[in-house]
Homo-oligomer: A and B are copies of this chain.
Amino acid sequence: MSFLSSASPKLAPWKVLLVDDEPDIHDITKLTLTRFRLDGRALSFVHAYSGAEAKQVLARESDIALVFLDVVMEKEDSGLEVARWMREDLDNQFTRIVLRTGQPGQAPEERVIVNYDINDYKEKTELDRTKLFTTTFAALRAYRDIMKVEEARRAQLNYREGLERVIAASAHIFQQRNLKDFAGGLLQQVVALLRLENSMLLRLRGATAISGENDYEILAQIGDDDATMLSADVLAQLDAAKSNKISRLQGDTYIGYFPNSSGKASLLVLKGVDEISEIDAKLLEVFCSGVAIAFDNILLTQEITDTQAELILRLGDVVESRSNEAGNHVRRMSEICHLLACAAGMPDDAAAVLRHAAPMHDIGKIATPDAVLLKPGKLDAAEWEIMKQHPSVGLSILDGSQRPILKAAAVIAHQHHEKFDGSGYPQGLKGHDIHLYARIVAVADVFDALMHKRCYKEAWPIDRVVAHLREVSGHHLDPVYVELLCQNIDQALAINERFPD
Protein backbone atom coordinates (compact mmCIF):
# COMPACT_ATOMS: atom_id res chain seq x y z
CA MET A 1 0.00 0.00 0.00
CA SER A 2 2.93 2.30 0.52
CA PHE A 3 6.34 2.86 -1.00
CA LEU A 4 7.85 2.05 2.34
CA SER A 5 6.50 -1.47 2.56
CA SER A 6 8.92 -2.68 -0.12
CA ALA A 7 11.72 -1.43 2.12
CA SER A 8 10.52 -3.55 5.05
CA PRO A 9 13.26 -5.70 6.58
CA LYS A 10 13.84 -9.02 4.83
CA LEU A 11 12.11 -11.82 6.70
CA ALA A 12 14.21 -14.75 7.86
CA PRO A 13 13.99 -17.61 5.35
CA TRP A 14 12.67 -21.08 6.18
CA LYS A 15 15.64 -23.35 6.76
CA VAL A 16 15.47 -26.56 4.70
CA LEU A 17 17.93 -29.42 5.06
CA LEU A 18 18.57 -31.48 1.91
CA VAL A 19 19.97 -34.92 2.66
CA ASP A 20 20.99 -36.94 -0.39
CA ASP A 21 24.17 -38.66 -1.56
CA GLU A 22 23.58 -37.47 -5.16
CA PRO A 23 24.74 -33.86 -5.62
CA ASP A 24 22.41 -33.47 -8.62
CA ILE A 25 19.37 -33.89 -6.41
CA HIS A 26 20.62 -31.02 -4.24
CA ASP A 27 21.07 -28.77 -7.27
CA ILE A 28 17.77 -29.53 -8.91
CA THR A 29 15.80 -29.15 -5.66
CA LYS A 30 17.42 -25.80 -4.97
CA LEU A 31 16.80 -24.61 -8.51
CA THR A 32 13.18 -25.73 -8.55
CA LEU A 33 12.39 -23.93 -5.28
CA THR A 34 14.29 -20.69 -6.06
CA ARG A 35 11.18 -18.55 -6.23
CA PHE A 36 9.35 -20.32 -3.39
CA ARG A 37 7.72 -18.08 -0.77
CA LEU A 38 5.50 -18.89 2.23
CA ASP A 39 4.24 -15.92 4.22
CA GLY A 40 6.73 -13.80 2.30
CA ARG A 41 9.65 -15.89 3.50
CA ALA A 42 12.01 -17.60 1.04
CA LEU A 43 14.04 -20.76 1.68
CA SER A 44 17.62 -21.20 2.76
CA PHE A 45 19.26 -24.57 2.19
CA VAL A 46 21.60 -26.62 4.30
CA HIS A 47 23.21 -29.63 2.63
CA ALA A 48 24.19 -33.08 3.86
CA TYR A 49 25.40 -35.96 1.71
CA SER A 50 25.13 -38.84 4.15
CA GLY A 51 23.09 -39.88 7.15
CA ALA A 52 26.03 -39.19 9.47
CA GLU A 53 26.44 -35.69 8.11
CA ALA A 54 22.70 -35.05 8.40
CA LYS A 55 22.83 -35.94 12.11
CA GLN A 56 25.69 -33.50 12.64
CA VAL A 57 23.75 -30.67 11.00
CA LEU A 58 20.54 -31.46 12.88
CA ALA A 59 22.35 -31.64 16.21
CA ARG A 60 23.92 -28.25 15.53
CA GLU A 61 20.97 -26.34 14.08
CA SER A 62 17.73 -26.47 15.99
CA ASP A 63 15.73 -24.22 13.68
CA ILE A 64 15.51 -26.46 10.64
CA ALA A 65 11.90 -26.42 9.46
CA LEU A 66 11.99 -29.23 6.92
CA VAL A 67 14.25 -32.13 5.93
CA PHE A 68 14.12 -33.77 2.53
CA LEU A 69 15.57 -37.12 3.43
CA ASP A 70 16.97 -39.71 0.98
CA VAL A 71 16.65 -43.31 2.21
CA VAL A 72 19.57 -45.22 0.69
CA MET A 73 22.91 -43.51 1.33
CA GLU A 74 25.99 -44.96 3.11
CA LYS A 75 23.68 -47.76 4.20
CA GLU A 76 20.45 -49.07 2.74
CA ASP A 77 18.41 -47.50 5.54
CA SER A 78 20.56 -44.46 6.40
CA GLY A 79 17.64 -42.05 5.90
CA LEU A 80 15.28 -44.12 8.04
CA GLU A 81 17.92 -44.19 10.79
CA VAL A 82 18.20 -40.39 10.62
CA ALA A 83 14.40 -40.12 10.98
CA ARG A 84 14.37 -42.48 13.96
CA TRP A 85 17.32 -40.70 15.60
CA MET A 86 15.73 -37.25 15.11
CA ARG A 87 12.53 -38.15 16.91
CA GLU A 88 13.85 -40.54 19.52
CA ASP A 89 17.40 -39.50 20.36
CA LEU A 90 17.47 -35.82 19.42
CA ASP A 91 13.89 -35.47 20.70
CA ASN A 92 13.07 -33.15 17.81
CA GLN A 93 9.30 -33.36 17.33
CA PHE A 94 8.85 -30.26 15.25
CA THR A 95 11.06 -30.41 12.16
CA ARG A 96 8.97 -31.84 9.30
CA ILE A 97 10.46 -34.89 7.57
CA VAL A 98 9.71 -35.67 3.90
CA LEU A 99 11.24 -38.98 2.90
CA ARG A 100 12.38 -39.11 -0.76
CA THR A 101 13.41 -42.43 -2.20
CA GLY A 102 14.64 -43.53 -5.58
CA GLN A 103 14.27 -47.22 -4.64
CA PRO A 104 10.79 -47.61 -3.14
CA GLY A 105 11.41 -51.34 -2.96
CA GLN A 106 13.94 -50.75 -0.19
CA ALA A 107 11.43 -48.82 1.89
CA PRO A 108 7.81 -49.57 1.02
CA GLU A 109 5.67 -46.49 1.64
CA GLU A 110 3.11 -48.04 3.96
CA ARG A 111 5.65 -49.84 6.17
CA VAL A 112 7.86 -46.76 6.42
CA ILE A 113 5.14 -44.32 7.30
CA VAL A 114 3.78 -46.62 10.00
CA ASN A 115 7.18 -47.39 11.55
CA TYR A 116 8.87 -44.01 11.28
CA ASP A 117 7.54 -40.72 12.53
CA ILE A 118 7.83 -38.97 9.16
CA ASN A 119 5.39 -36.47 7.69
CA ASP A 120 5.39 -37.29 3.99
CA TYR A 121 6.74 -39.98 1.66
CA LYS A 122 7.60 -39.36 -1.97
CA GLU A 123 9.19 -41.40 -4.69
CA LYS A 124 11.72 -39.26 -6.49
CA THR A 125 9.89 -39.89 -9.75
CA GLU A 126 6.73 -38.39 -8.26
CA LEU A 127 8.39 -35.12 -7.46
CA ASP A 128 7.86 -32.96 -10.50
CA ARG A 129 8.10 -29.17 -10.14
CA THR A 130 4.51 -28.78 -8.93
CA LYS A 131 4.62 -31.68 -6.48
CA LEU A 132 7.91 -30.52 -5.03
CA PHE A 133 6.46 -27.05 -4.60
CA THR A 134 3.19 -28.18 -2.97
CA THR A 135 4.92 -30.77 -0.79
CA THR A 136 7.30 -28.11 0.49
CA PHE A 137 4.46 -25.66 0.96
CA ALA A 138 2.30 -28.10 2.95
CA ALA A 139 5.22 -29.26 5.08
CA LEU A 140 6.39 -25.75 5.94
CA ARG A 141 2.85 -24.68 6.68
CA ALA A 142 2.51 -27.62 9.06
CA TYR A 143 5.81 -26.62 10.68
CA ARG A 144 4.61 -23.04 11.00
CA ASP A 145 1.31 -24.13 12.57
CA ILE A 146 2.86 -26.45 15.12
CA MET A 147 5.53 -23.89 15.99
CA LYS A 148 2.85 -21.26 16.49
CA VAL A 149 1.15 -23.47 19.06
CA GLU A 150 4.53 -24.42 20.52
CA GLU A 151 5.45 -20.76 20.90
CA ALA A 152 2.11 -20.08 22.55
CA ARG A 153 2.83 -23.02 24.87
CA ARG A 154 6.27 -21.62 25.68
CA ALA A 155 4.80 -18.18 26.30
CA GLN A 156 2.33 -19.71 28.76
CA LEU A 157 5.16 -21.64 30.36
CA ASN A 158 7.26 -18.48 30.62
CA TYR A 159 4.38 -16.58 32.09
CA ARG A 160 3.62 -19.40 34.48
CA GLU A 161 7.25 -19.52 35.57
CA GLY A 162 7.15 -15.76 35.90
CA LEU A 163 4.11 -16.02 38.15
CA GLU A 164 5.92 -18.63 40.22
CA ARG A 165 8.82 -16.21 40.58
CA VAL A 166 6.35 -13.47 41.53
CA ILE A 167 4.82 -15.75 44.16
CA ALA A 168 8.25 -16.59 45.57
CA ALA A 169 9.26 -12.92 45.52
CA SER A 170 5.98 -11.91 47.16
CA ALA A 171 6.42 -14.58 49.83
CA HIS A 172 9.80 -13.05 50.60
CA ILE A 173 8.28 -9.58 50.74
CA PHE A 174 5.42 -10.66 52.98
CA GLN A 175 7.84 -12.17 55.47
CA GLN A 176 9.53 -8.88 56.19
CA ARG A 177 8.62 -7.50 59.56
CA ASN A 178 9.89 -3.97 59.47
CA LEU A 179 10.07 -1.16 56.98
CA LYS A 180 13.83 -1.38 56.49
CA ASP A 181 13.92 -5.09 55.70
CA PHE A 182 10.81 -4.70 53.57
CA ALA A 183 12.28 -1.90 51.49
CA GLY A 184 15.59 -3.68 51.00
CA GLY A 185 13.90 -7.00 50.26
CA LEU A 186 11.57 -5.38 47.76
CA LEU A 187 14.36 -4.00 45.61
CA GLN A 188 16.25 -7.27 45.86
CA GLN A 189 13.18 -9.06 44.50
CA VAL A 190 12.67 -6.51 41.74
CA VAL A 191 16.23 -7.17 40.61
CA ALA A 192 15.73 -10.94 40.80
CA LEU A 193 12.42 -10.74 38.98
CA LEU A 194 13.13 -8.25 36.24
CA ARG A 195 16.91 -7.84 36.29
CA LEU A 196 16.32 -4.11 36.78
CA GLU A 197 19.36 -2.90 38.58
CA ASN A 198 18.34 0.69 38.99
CA SER A 199 15.51 0.94 41.41
CA MET A 200 14.51 2.92 44.43
CA LEU A 201 11.73 2.85 47.02
CA LEU A 202 10.62 6.15 48.46
CA ARG A 203 8.08 7.28 50.95
CA LEU A 204 6.24 10.56 50.86
CA ARG A 205 7.17 12.69 53.81
CA GLY A 206 4.35 14.34 55.73
CA ALA A 207 2.24 16.80 53.81
CA THR A 208 4.28 19.82 52.77
CA ALA A 209 3.57 22.83 50.66
CA ILE A 210 6.98 22.86 49.02
CA SER A 211 7.45 20.38 46.21
CA GLY A 212 10.80 18.87 45.42
CA GLU A 213 13.37 16.36 46.54
CA ASN A 214 12.55 16.95 50.18
CA ASP A 215 9.07 15.55 49.67
CA TYR A 216 10.52 12.08 49.38
CA GLU A 217 12.26 9.93 51.91
CA ILE A 218 14.39 7.25 50.24
CA LEU A 219 13.74 3.91 51.96
CA ALA A 220 16.01 1.77 49.83
CA GLN A 221 17.96 2.01 46.62
CA ILE A 222 19.87 -0.21 44.26
CA GLY A 223 22.05 0.94 41.38
CA ASP A 224 22.48 4.58 40.35
CA ASP A 225 23.34 7.17 42.93
CA ASP A 226 20.71 9.67 44.09
CA ALA A 227 21.71 12.27 41.55
CA THR A 228 20.59 10.24 38.54
CA MET A 229 17.65 8.50 40.20
CA LEU A 230 16.21 11.76 41.47
CA SER A 231 16.79 13.77 38.30
CA ALA A 232 14.43 16.62 37.44
CA ASP A 233 12.76 14.23 35.03
CA VAL A 234 12.13 11.54 37.62
CA LEU A 235 11.01 14.14 40.16
CA ALA A 236 8.43 15.43 37.70
CA GLN A 237 7.15 11.89 37.21
CA LEU A 238 7.06 11.31 40.97
CA ASP A 239 5.09 14.52 41.45
CA ALA A 240 2.67 13.47 38.72
CA ALA A 241 2.19 10.05 40.29
CA LYS A 242 1.70 11.71 43.67
CA SER A 243 -1.00 14.08 42.49
CA ASN A 244 -2.74 11.67 40.11
CA LYS A 245 -2.40 8.82 42.61
CA ILE A 246 -1.67 6.22 39.93
CA SER A 247 1.22 4.01 38.86
CA ARG A 248 2.61 4.79 35.43
CA LEU A 249 5.21 3.75 32.90
CA GLN A 250 6.72 6.70 31.06
CA GLY A 251 9.72 6.35 28.77
CA ASP A 252 12.11 3.97 30.48
CA THR A 253 10.86 4.74 33.99
CA TYR A 254 8.13 2.97 35.91
CA ILE A 255 6.70 4.82 38.88
CA GLY A 256 4.67 2.57 41.17
CA TYR A 257 2.30 4.52 43.41
CA PHE A 258 1.17 2.68 46.54
CA PRO A 259 -1.32 4.50 48.70
CA ASN A 260 -1.91 3.06 52.15
CA SER A 261 -4.51 3.32 54.83
CA SER A 262 -2.40 5.65 56.97
CA GLY A 263 -2.40 8.17 54.12
CA LYS A 264 1.34 8.14 53.55
CA ALA A 265 1.90 6.89 50.01
CA SER A 266 5.05 5.16 48.88
CA LEU A 267 6.60 5.21 45.44
CA LEU A 268 8.70 2.69 43.60
CA VAL A 269 11.00 3.98 40.86
CA LEU A 270 12.28 1.48 38.32
CA LYS A 271 14.60 2.60 35.54
CA GLY A 272 15.30 0.71 32.32
CA VAL A 273 11.77 -0.66 32.16
CA ASP A 274 11.55 0.01 28.40
CA GLU A 275 13.75 -3.02 27.86
CA ILE A 276 11.51 -5.47 29.68
CA SER A 277 9.14 -7.73 27.80
CA GLU A 278 5.39 -7.47 27.76
CA ILE A 279 5.17 -10.51 30.01
CA ASP A 280 7.58 -8.95 32.49
CA ALA A 281 5.54 -5.76 32.49
CA LYS A 282 2.47 -7.79 33.38
CA LEU A 283 4.35 -9.69 36.05
CA LEU A 284 5.53 -6.37 37.45
CA GLU A 285 1.91 -5.29 37.73
CA VAL A 286 0.95 -8.49 39.55
CA PHE A 287 3.97 -8.21 41.83
CA CYS A 288 3.33 -4.55 42.60
CA SER A 289 -0.27 -5.15 43.62
CA GLY A 290 1.05 -7.65 46.17
CA VAL A 291 3.71 -5.17 47.25
CA ALA A 292 1.03 -2.59 47.93
CA ILE A 293 -0.69 -4.96 50.34
CA ALA A 294 2.56 -5.99 52.03
CA PHE A 295 3.54 -2.35 52.36
CA ASP A 296 0.24 -1.50 53.95
CA ASN A 297 0.65 -4.39 56.38
CA ILE A 298 4.18 -3.32 57.28
CA LEU A 299 3.04 0.23 57.97
CA LEU A 300 0.18 -1.01 60.11
CA THR A 301 2.50 -3.21 62.14
CA GLN A 302 4.94 -0.32 62.40
CA GLU A 303 2.14 1.95 63.59
CA ILE A 304 1.11 -0.48 66.32
CA THR A 305 4.73 -1.09 67.35
CA ASP A 306 5.43 2.64 67.43
CA THR A 307 2.27 3.26 69.46
CA GLN A 308 3.37 0.58 71.87
CA ALA A 309 6.84 2.10 72.24
CA GLU A 310 5.39 5.55 72.75
CA LEU A 311 2.90 4.28 75.31
CA ILE A 312 5.65 2.65 77.32
CA LEU A 313 7.78 5.78 77.23
CA ARG A 314 4.87 7.91 78.36
CA LEU A 315 4.13 5.42 81.11
CA GLY A 316 7.77 5.69 82.18
CA ASP A 317 7.54 9.47 81.99
CA VAL A 318 4.48 9.50 84.21
CA VAL A 319 6.29 7.51 86.86
CA GLU A 320 9.45 9.60 86.64
CA SER A 321 7.43 12.79 86.75
CA ARG A 322 6.25 11.90 90.28
CA SER A 323 9.88 11.75 91.43
CA ASN A 324 10.48 15.13 89.80
CA GLU A 325 13.05 13.57 87.50
CA ALA A 326 13.29 15.14 84.09
CA GLY A 327 11.37 13.54 81.25
CA ASN A 328 14.05 12.11 79.03
CA HIS A 329 15.56 9.75 81.59
CA VAL A 330 13.52 6.78 80.36
CA ARG A 331 14.29 7.49 76.70
CA ARG A 332 18.02 7.59 77.38
CA MET A 333 17.81 4.41 79.48
CA SER A 334 15.97 2.66 76.70
CA GLU A 335 18.54 3.63 74.07
CA ILE A 336 21.63 2.96 76.22
CA CYS A 337 20.28 -0.49 77.14
CA HIS A 338 19.73 -1.18 73.45
CA LEU A 339 23.24 0.05 72.64
CA LEU A 340 24.77 -2.30 75.22
CA ALA A 341 22.63 -5.24 74.09
CA CYS A 342 23.66 -4.76 70.46
CA ALA A 343 27.31 -4.28 71.43
CA ALA A 344 27.12 -7.57 73.31
CA GLY A 345 25.81 -9.30 70.18
CA MET A 346 22.31 -9.96 71.56
CA PRO A 347 19.86 -11.13 68.84
CA ASP A 348 17.74 -8.31 67.36
CA ASP A 349 14.47 -9.63 68.80
CA ALA A 350 15.80 -9.88 72.34
CA ALA A 351 17.47 -6.46 72.09
CA ALA A 352 14.17 -4.94 70.90
CA VAL A 353 12.32 -6.48 73.86
CA LEU A 354 14.86 -4.96 76.26
CA ARG A 355 14.58 -1.57 74.56
CA HIS A 356 10.81 -1.60 75.00
CA ALA A 357 10.82 -2.99 78.53
CA ALA A 358 13.57 -0.84 80.09
CA PRO A 359 11.47 2.36 80.44
CA MET A 360 9.20 0.55 82.92
CA HIS A 361 11.97 -0.26 85.43
CA ASP A 362 10.81 2.22 88.08
CA ILE A 363 7.08 1.60 87.65
CA GLY A 364 6.81 0.40 91.25
CA LYS A 365 7.52 3.95 92.45
CA ILE A 366 3.94 4.74 91.54
CA ALA A 367 2.98 3.33 94.92
CA THR A 368 5.72 5.05 96.89
CA PRO A 369 4.10 7.72 99.10
CA ASP A 370 4.80 11.36 98.28
CA ALA A 371 6.30 11.80 101.75
CA VAL A 372 9.09 9.37 100.86
CA LEU A 373 9.42 9.90 97.13
CA LEU A 374 9.48 13.69 97.29
CA LYS A 375 11.39 14.16 100.57
CA PRO A 376 14.07 16.78 99.88
CA GLY A 377 16.66 15.55 102.41
CA LYS A 378 18.08 12.14 103.24
CA LEU A 379 15.66 9.29 104.01
CA ASP A 380 15.64 7.80 107.48
CA ALA A 381 15.81 4.01 107.98
CA ALA A 382 12.01 3.54 107.95
CA GLU A 383 11.59 5.71 104.86
CA TRP A 384 14.39 3.83 103.14
CA GLU A 385 12.60 0.55 103.80
CA ILE A 386 9.50 1.98 102.09
CA MET A 387 11.58 3.24 99.17
CA LYS A 388 13.13 -0.21 98.76
CA GLN A 389 9.70 -1.72 98.18
CA HIS A 390 9.40 -0.29 94.64
CA PRO A 391 11.05 -3.25 92.86
CA SER A 392 8.61 -5.72 94.44
CA VAL A 393 5.67 -3.41 93.76
CA GLY A 394 6.87 -3.12 90.15
CA LEU A 395 6.93 -6.90 89.88
CA SER A 396 3.41 -7.16 91.28
CA ILE A 397 2.13 -4.60 88.75
CA LEU A 398 3.68 -6.34 85.77
CA ASP A 399 3.60 -9.95 86.91
CA GLY A 400 1.66 -12.78 85.31
CA SER A 401 1.65 -11.58 81.71
CA GLN A 402 2.45 -13.90 78.80
CA ARG A 403 3.71 -10.99 76.65
CA PRO A 404 7.48 -11.03 76.14
CA ILE A 405 7.81 -7.28 76.70
CA LEU A 406 5.77 -7.35 79.92
CA LYS A 407 7.62 -10.42 81.19
CA ALA A 408 10.92 -8.64 80.55
CA ALA A 409 9.62 -5.46 82.19
CA ALA A 410 8.56 -7.44 85.28
CA VAL A 411 11.99 -8.99 85.80
CA ILE A 412 13.72 -5.66 85.13
CA ALA A 413 11.46 -3.82 87.60
CA HIS A 414 12.13 -6.50 90.18
CA GLN A 415 15.90 -6.89 89.76
CA HIS A 416 17.30 -3.56 88.61
CA HIS A 417 18.53 -2.71 92.13
CA GLU A 418 20.35 -6.01 92.61
CA LYS A 419 24.13 -5.65 92.65
CA PHE A 420 26.63 -7.93 90.91
CA ASP A 421 28.35 -8.79 94.23
CA GLY A 422 25.07 -9.72 95.92
CA SER A 423 24.79 -6.56 98.05
CA GLY A 424 21.69 -5.19 96.29
CA TYR A 425 17.95 -5.49 97.00
CA PRO A 426 15.26 -6.84 97.27
CA GLN A 427 16.55 -10.42 96.89
CA GLY A 428 20.33 -9.97 97.22
CA LEU A 429 20.89 -11.89 93.98
CA LYS A 430 24.48 -12.27 92.83
CA GLY A 431 26.28 -12.37 89.44
CA HIS A 432 24.47 -14.29 86.74
CA ASP A 433 21.56 -15.07 89.07
CA ILE A 434 20.55 -11.51 88.22
CA HIS A 435 18.72 -11.49 84.88
CA LEU A 436 20.84 -10.26 81.98
CA TYR A 437 18.30 -7.51 81.23
CA ALA A 438 18.43 -6.26 84.83
CA ARG A 439 22.25 -6.19 84.82
CA ILE A 440 22.22 -4.08 81.64
CA VAL A 441 19.54 -1.75 83.03
CA ALA A 442 21.58 -1.30 86.23
CA VAL A 443 24.61 -0.12 84.22
CA ALA A 444 22.48 2.27 82.16
CA ASP A 445 20.68 3.56 85.26
CA VAL A 446 23.88 4.34 87.15
CA PHE A 447 25.45 5.91 84.06
CA ASP A 448 22.42 8.16 83.56
CA ALA A 449 22.25 9.21 87.21
CA LEU A 450 25.94 10.15 87.21
CA MET A 451 25.82 12.04 83.91
CA HIS A 452 22.87 14.24 84.94
CA LYS A 453 21.95 16.71 87.63
CA ARG A 454 19.69 15.29 90.32
CA CYS A 455 18.10 16.97 93.33
CA TYR A 456 20.84 15.39 95.46
CA LYS A 457 23.84 15.93 93.10
CA GLU A 458 25.30 17.87 90.18
CA ALA A 459 26.07 16.33 86.74
CA TRP A 460 29.52 14.74 86.75
CA PRO A 461 32.09 15.21 83.99
CA ILE A 462 32.52 12.20 81.72
CA ASP A 463 36.00 11.27 83.00
CA ARG A 464 34.77 11.06 86.55
CA VAL A 465 31.76 9.00 85.41
CA VAL A 466 33.94 6.48 83.58
CA ALA A 467 36.35 6.29 86.50
CA HIS A 468 33.48 5.63 88.90
CA LEU A 469 31.93 2.99 86.64
CA ARG A 470 35.29 1.16 86.47
CA GLU A 471 35.52 1.39 90.25
CA VAL A 472 32.14 -0.25 90.87
CA SER A 473 32.61 -2.75 88.04
CA GLY A 474 32.38 -6.25 89.46
CA HIS A 475 30.99 -4.90 92.73
CA HIS A 476 27.79 -3.00 91.97
CA LEU A 477 27.78 -3.60 88.19
CA ASP A 478 28.44 -6.46 85.76
CA PRO A 479 31.99 -5.80 84.46
CA VAL A 480 31.12 -7.04 80.95
CA TYR A 481 28.58 -4.28 80.39
CA VAL A 482 30.63 -1.60 82.12
CA GLU A 483 33.43 -2.45 79.68
CA LEU A 484 31.05 -2.38 76.69
CA LEU A 485 29.74 1.00 77.80
CA CYS A 486 33.27 2.41 78.08
CA GLN A 487 34.15 1.03 74.65
CA ASN A 488 31.06 2.66 73.15
CA ILE A 489 31.10 5.83 75.22
CA ASP A 490 30.87 8.09 72.12
CA GLN A 491 27.59 6.52 71.06
CA ALA A 492 26.30 6.74 74.63
CA LEU A 493 27.14 10.46 74.74
CA ALA A 494 25.40 10.93 71.40
CA ILE A 495 22.27 9.39 72.92
CA ASN A 496 22.52 11.81 75.85
CA GLU A 497 22.76 14.70 73.41
CA ARG A 498 19.70 13.54 71.50
CA PHE A 499 17.63 13.35 74.69
CA PRO A 500 18.78 16.13 77.06
CA ASP A 501 17.19 16.73 80.45
Knowing A149-B146, A315-B311 are in contact, say whether A304-B306 is a contact too (CB < 8 A): no
Q: Which of A165-192 contact B (CB under 8 A)?
A: 166-167, 170-171, 174-175, 177
Please tell me the number of chain A residues within 8 Å of chain B, measured between CB atoms: 75
Q: How far is the CA of A7 from the CA of B149 in the complex (A)?
A: 35
Which residues of the other chain, B, contact A296 by a CB distance below 8 angstroms? 175
Is there contact, CB below 8 Å, between A311 and B314? no
Question: A residues touching B (Cβ–Cβ < 8 Å)?
Answer: 93, 109-110, 113-114, 117-121, 130-131, 133-134, 137-138, 141-142, 145-146, 149-150, 152-153, 156-157, 159-160, 163-164, 166-167, 170-171, 174-175, 177, 286, 289-290, 293-294, 296-297, 300-301, 303-308, 310-312, 314-315, 317-319, 321-322, 363, 366-367, 369-371, 397-398, 401, 403-406
Chain B hits for A146, CB < 8 A: 142, 145-146, 149
The dominant DSSP class at the A interface is: helix
B300 engages A177 (CB within 8 Å): yes
Does B142 contact A119, Cβ atoms closer than 8 Å? yes
Quick check: A121 and B149 within 8 Å, CB to CB?
Answer: no
Across the two chains, which residue of chain B brings its CB closest to A398? Answer: B314
Bound together, the chains give a CA A288 to CA B118 distance in angstroms of 46
Query: How near does chain B come to A303, taking the closest CB pair, in angstroms?
Result: 7
Q: Across the interface, do A307 and B134 meet the contact criterion of CB distance under 8 Å?
A: no
A143 to chain B, nearest CB (A): 10
* Cβ B294 vs Cβ A174 within 8 A: yes
Contact A307/B403 with A93-B145, A150-B149, A152-B153 known, Cβ cut-off 8 Å: yes
Q: How often does this chain occur in the complex, in copies?
A: 2
Bound-complex Cα distance A167 to B288 (A): 12
CA distance A254 to B47 in the complex (A): 58
C-alpha spacing A131/B366, complex, angstroms:
104
Collect the chain B residues with CB atoms within 8 Å of residue A175's CB: 293, 296
- Which residue in B113, B308, B404 is a CB contact (below 8 Å) of A311? B308
Complex interface: chain B residues within 8 A of A310 (CB): 401, 403, 406
Give chain B residues whose Cβ lies under 8 Å from the Cβ of A293.
171, 174-175
Interface centre among A120, A145, A300, A401 (most CB of B within 10 A): A145
Closest to A158 in B: B156
The complex places the Cα of A9 from the Cα of B104 at a distance, in Å, of: 37
How far, in angstroms, from A13 to B458 measured CA to CA in the complex? 102
Query: Complex Cα distance A110/B363, Å?
Result: 98
Contact A134 B119 (CB under 8 A): no
Shortest beta-carbon contacts, A-B, top 7: A156-B156, A153-B153, A163-B163, A307-B403, A160-B160, A370-B370, A113-B134
| Residues of B with C-beta under 8 A to A286 | 164, 167
Given contacts A160-B160, A311-B406, A366-B366, contact A317 B138 (CB under 8 A): no
Given the complex of chains A and B, what is the CA–CA distance between A397 and B313 in angstroms?
A: 11
Closest B residue to A150 by beta carbon equals: B149
The minimal Cβ–Cβ distance linking A348 to chain B, given in whole angstroms, is: 13
Shortest CB distance A37–B (Å): 9
- Say whether A156 contacts B166, CB under 8 Å: no
Q: Which residue of B lies closest to A321 (CB)?
A: B367
CA distance A159 to B157 in the complex (A): 9
Q: Determine how close the nearest CB of chain B comes to the CB of A401; give it in whole angstroms.
A: 6
Given A149-B150, A307-B405, 17 more A-B residue pairs with CB atoms under 8 Å apart are A109-B131, A110-B134, A117-B141, A118-B138, A119-B138, A142-B146, A160-B163, A163-B167, A167-B290, A170-B290, A177-B300, A301-B304, A303-B403, A314-B398, A314-B401, A319-B366, A366-B366
Shortest Cβ distance from residue A411 to the other chain B in the assembled complex, whole angstroms: 15
